[in-house]
Amino acid sequence: MTVAGAVASRYEAVIGIEIHCQLKTVSKMFCGCSTDIDGAAPNSHCCPVCLGLPGVLPTINKAAVEWVIATGSAIEATTPAATRWDRKNYFYPDLPKGYQISQYQLPLAANGRLTFDTSEGPFTVRIRRAHLEEDTGRLQHAELDGRRVSLIDYNRSGMPLMEIVTEPDIRTGEQARRYAEELRLLMKTIGASDAEMENGQMRVEANVSIRPRGREEFGTRVEVKNMNSMKAVERAIAFEIERQAGLIDGGGAVQMETRGWDDPSQSTYHMRLKEEENDYRYFPEPDLPPLITTPEWLAAIKTRLPELPAARRTRYQTELGLSPYDASVIVNDADASTLFEDAVKTSGSGLAKSLANMITGEYLRLVKTAEGHVDPAELAKLVLTIDQGAVSATVGKNIFVEHFESGQPVTSIIEKHGYRQISDAGVLAKAVEQVLEANPAAVADYRAGKAAAAGFLVGQVMKATRGQANAAMVQAALRERLDRSE
Ligand SMILES: [Zn+2]
């Protein structure tokens, strides 16, 4: 049994995930400042509102509110008829007002769920809430003229953030990673967020505790931060489960603390103690009126939702005949899914499975290692050409690679290399004859009852025709020829 397996047989992990997503809006949450801050000079995208100067008043960004309602709708959550804003009070230099405007008691979305595949089958996580809040500024510790200084950049201050909190339903690092991946896919699909972890548009935190199997009571939980990739989410949680089991097995106790993930050492490290929950002294935001969500408004937002990943996977299986695996692989990659959708429009649904094979087999392999592009209409043409027998499947793959790398039309590539499949019975018969003459041993083997020898002879004909022979015709011709002269 592996170490992880031994731990899992004695302890059950209880994991809740909190995800912050930066919403895709043109302006900030409560002011008109641009959200396009990538590469901007520090403190160049600020105004009195997002700097928290006295006497200013916030105004609500409608687009941000609609993104949270849309997310709520996509995760089957409920939205209250009226919601309000709350002040979350704490003091830190990156928070100029001394409070964040957030939603405490009445989140815009509550009691949702998200279902996704794992290696052990489908899994559903209940989502407690999704609410809207504003981001803080950013502290940078640097050296300036030989002195250690702390610099503050308020460009990020007031950016719209959605916080999504799960119930403690997750039990393994893999489930946590898959949940975060599915949520990221959902955000990208509905357009609420670009949700890139590398540039902080999506931040994942996990609350991890363990308890002996069979016990109801929760163990002491540890908050894990700084997981900068999906892989890190899975590994950090797996590490944390084993670390906590080791502590308890050694007669120690788990401390309530915040730990960070350190990628180079593949381990978590102590950041700070968390002796009790922070007291944020929430109270209703006096500068903003309650927000009324009319049924008409909610319905209009729901109507605008595109097809969601789960529905798309089902459609690929039921209407286009894809396997559950192919449907998942394609839907999980936004670019692959778009390519597939556009190509099916050209080729028709009859060739959907062949298109899917080319995308899962060739396209997804190529994009990992090379720069290139596929024209959906050209992909459809290629699959149709293979289907009609004008080029063989093997040659088809070569054509696909060349189109991906050079962007040349499929027809030009076929003409250039003389790739037309050889389906001329006379030409093939001649090639078969030559191969039989050159391989008398294999012919004798076949006649002695070794069926595998036929496969070798087919291979020789394919080789002699540079893969261009129609393989089915070669097989038929060979058998006919061998059996005839017996
Ligand atoms: Zn501003």
Q: For the segment 402-416, what is each residue's pLDDT rounded down to a tens digit?
A: 999 999 999 999 888
Cα gap 203→156, rounded to integer Å: 14
Distance from residue 45's CA to the centre of ligand 1 (Å): 7
What does residue 302 show for φ and ψ, rounded to 5 degrees? -65, -40
Distance from residue 33's CA to the centre of ligand 1 (Å): 4
Distance from residue 160's CA to the centre of ligand 1 (Å): 11
DSSP 14-54: EEEEEEEEE---SB-SSS--BS--TTPPTT-S--TTTTT-T
Distance from residue 49's CA to the centre of ligand 1 (Å): 5
Q: For 224-260, write each residue's pLDDT tens digit.
A: 999 999 999 999 999 999 999 999 999 999 999 999 9
Distance from residue 95's CA to the centre of ligand 1 (Å): 13
Q: For 387-402, write each residue's pLDDT tens digit.
A: 887 888 888 999 999 9
What does residue 443 show for φ and ψ, rounded to 5 degrees? -65, -40
Please give the pLDDT value at position 273: 86
Distance from residue 27's CA to the centre of ligand 1 (Å): 8
Give residues with Cβ within 8 angstroms of 325, minimum separation 6. none
DSSP 141-195: EEEETTEEEEEEEGGGTT-EEEEEEE-S-B-SHHHHHHHHHHHHHHHHHHTS---
Which strand (E) or helix (H) includes residue 202?
A: strand 202-212
Distance from residue 348's CA to the centre of ligand 1 (Å): 50
Cα gap 463→442, rounded to integer Å: 16
Distance from residue 58's CA to the centre of ligand 1 (Å): 9
Distance from residue 23's CA to the centre of ligand 1 (Å): 16
Secondary structure letter of residue 78 according to DSSP: B
Cα gap 287→87, rounded to integer Å: 10
Distance from residue 85's CA to the centre of ligand 1 (Å): 18
Distance from residue 397's CA to the centre of ligand 1 (Å): 53
Compute the average pLDDT of residues 421-432: 85
End-to-end CA distance of the chain: 58
Percent of the chain with pLDDT over 70: 99
Distance from residue 155's CA to the centre of ligand 1 (Å): 8
Most confidently modeled range among 3-7, 132-136, 274-278: 132-136
Distance from residue 204's CA to the centre of ligand 1 (Å): 26
Side-chain half-sphere CA neighbours of 435 within 13 A: 28
Alpha helices in 216-351 (DSSP H): 230-249, 295-304, 309-318, 324-331, 334-347
Weakest-pLDDT range from 41-45, 129-133, 419-423, 444-448 = 419-423
Cα gap 107→239, rounded to integer Å: 32
**Which amino acid makes up residue 362?**
E
Please give the pLDDT value at position 279: 84
Side-chain half-sphere CA neighbours of 206 within 13 A: 35
Residue 300 has pLDDT above 70, yes or no: yes
Q: For 310-323, write each residue's pLDDT tens digit.
A: 999 999 999 999 99
Q: Which residues pair with 261 in a beta bridge?
A: 268
Distance from residue 134's CA to the centre of ligand 1 (Å): 11
pTM: 0.83
Cβ contact 64:132 at 8 Å: yes
Residue 277 has pLDDT above 70, yes or no: no
Mean of the per-residue pLDDT values for the chain? 93
Phi-psi region of 126 (alpha: psi -120 to 50; beta: other; left: phi over 0): beta
Which strand (E) or helix (H) includes residue 225?
A: strand 222-227
Q: For 162-218, write each residue's pLDDT tens digit.
A: 999 999 999 999 999 999 999 999 999 999 999 999 888 999 999 999 999 999 999
Residue 486 has pLDDT above 60, yes or no: no
Distance from residue 32's CA to the centre of ligand 1 (Å): 6
Distance from residue 472's CA to the centre of ligand 1 (Å): 68
Distance from residue 50's CA to the centre of ligand 1 (Å): 4
Q: For 65-77, write each residue's pLDDT tens digit.
A: 999 999 999 999 9
Residue 366 has pLDDT above 90, yes or no: yes
Tell me what percent of the chain is helix, strand and coil, each rounded to the nearest 5: 45, 20, 35
* Strands 222-227 and 257-262, bridge-based pairing: parallel
Q: For 7-61, write each residue's pLDDT tens digit.
A: 888 999 999 999 999 999 999 999 999 999 999 999 999 999 999 999 999 999 9
Distance from residue 384's CA to the centre of ligand 1 (Å): 54
Cα gap 403→370, rounded to integer Å: 13
Token output for 251: 């007669």
Distance from residue 55's CA to the centre of ligand 1 (Å): 14
Please give the pLDDT value at position 275: 64
**Which amino acid makes up residue 302?**
K
Distance from residue 69's CA to the centre of ligand 1 (Å): 23
Most confidently modeled range among 44-48, 280-284, 448-452, 470-474: 44-48
Token output for 285: 């935001």
Please give the pLDDT value at position 320: 95
